[in-house]
Structure 1
Amino acid sequence: MVVQWLRESRVAAGAMLLLRIWLGYTWLVSGWEKITGGFQSAGFLKGAVAKATGEHPAVQGWWASFIKSVALPNSGLFDFLIPWGEFLVGVALLLGLFTTFAGLMGIIMNFAFLFSGTTSINPQMVLFTTFILVAGRNAGHYGLDTYVLPLLDRWMGREQQLASYKDRIDKF
């Protein structure tokens, strides 16, 4: 019932617009500060590895192993990916363009930060992004998704499949 409301209600689309604006602005500003401020991930990554020790580690061993073996040796790549990823997720959410994909990429980054022992605003962002992901296409109804996604569906030949799916939902 709640999922159907999130996916079909115009009131829910309006609520998702408000969440998108807040999340988009938060991601955009965070990314832009890193882009213009000379962000370097190595210090953060080393701090996350240090949090993996002790009686009650904030970072799980498997994640610390990933950081040590993948992220730290490639910190230059992460210096690029993190700021631009944050910035582009922010732009996409603000515009309502590929909203669910942007939300998915944002929530993956949030979880990576949480896994690394940083709480900050990440739990709130995960919670709000979950609503956007559940709302699906309706989260971008008041945005560019309204125009772009139908064109993409036609181009991919999925228009008929989606119409059939909508008919089944209406009968439900």
Structure 2
Amino acid sequence: MVVKWLRENNVAAGLLVLFRLYLGYQWIHGGWGKITGGFDASGFLQGAIGKASGDHPAVQAWWAGFLEGFALPNVDLFNVLVPWGELLVGLGLILGTFTTFAALMGSTMNFAFLFSGTVSTNAQMVLLTVFILVAGANAGKYGLDRIILPYIRRKTMNKEEKAHKVTV
């Protein structure tokens, strides 16, 4: 019942705009601050790896292994991906462009931060993002998805029709 409401109701679509705007602002604010302020993830990564030891580690060993074996050696890549990813997720959510994909990528980043032992607003952002993900296309109904998604569907249908005519 709640899922149907989230996916089909105009009031739900309006409420999701508020969630999108809040989350989008958070992502843009964080990303732009990193882009303009000079961002280096190495300290964050080393701190997260350090939280994987002791009696009650905040970071699980498998995640610390990923951070130590992949993320830290490729920190230059993460120094680009994190700030620009945050900015693009924020833009997607605010504009309602590829909303579900933007929400999924934002949730992925939030989980990475949570796995790294950072709570902050990440848990709250994940919770709000779940509503956007469950709502699917209705979350971007009052955004550019209203124009973009039907266009993509038409283009995809035309290609499928053409491919079907060729094979028949």
TM-score range, shorter chain: over 0.9
Distance, in Å, in 1 between the alignment partners of 2:106 and 2:76 is 20
5 Å matches for 1:16-165?
Answer: 16-157=16-157
Measured in 2, the distance between the counterparts of 1:10 and 1:144 equals: 16
Instruction: State the secondary structure of the residue aligned to 1:157.
Output: helix
* Structure 1 Cα separation of the partners of residues 75 and 153 of structure 2: 37
Which 4+ stretches in 1 moved above 2 angstroms? Answer: none
Which amino acid counterpart does residue 155 of structure 2 have in structure 1?
W
Q: Residue 35 of structure 2 aligns to a residue in which SS? A: helix
- How far does residue 156 in structure 1 lie from its aligned partner after superposition? 1.2
Partners of 1:60 and 1:156 lie apart in 2 by 43
Q: TM-score, normalised by structure 1?
A: 0.91
Q: CA RMSD for the aligned pairs? A: 1.1
SS at match of 1:45: helix
| Distance in 2 between residues matched to 1:68 and 1:26, nearest whole Å | 28
Distance 1:136 1:75 in 2: 33
Note the C-alpha offset of 1:146: 0.3
Identity of aligned residues (%): 63
Query: 2:153 & 2:85 partners in 1: Cα distance?
Result: 25
Gaps spanning 5+ residues in structure 1: where? 161-172
TM-score (norm 2): 0.93
Consecutive unaligned residues of structure 2, counting only runs of 5 or more, are 161-168
CA–CA separation in structure 1 for the residues paired with 2:20 and 2:9? 16
Deviation at 1:20, TM superposition (A): 0.2
User: How far apart are 1:71 and its partner, in Å?
Assistant: 0.0
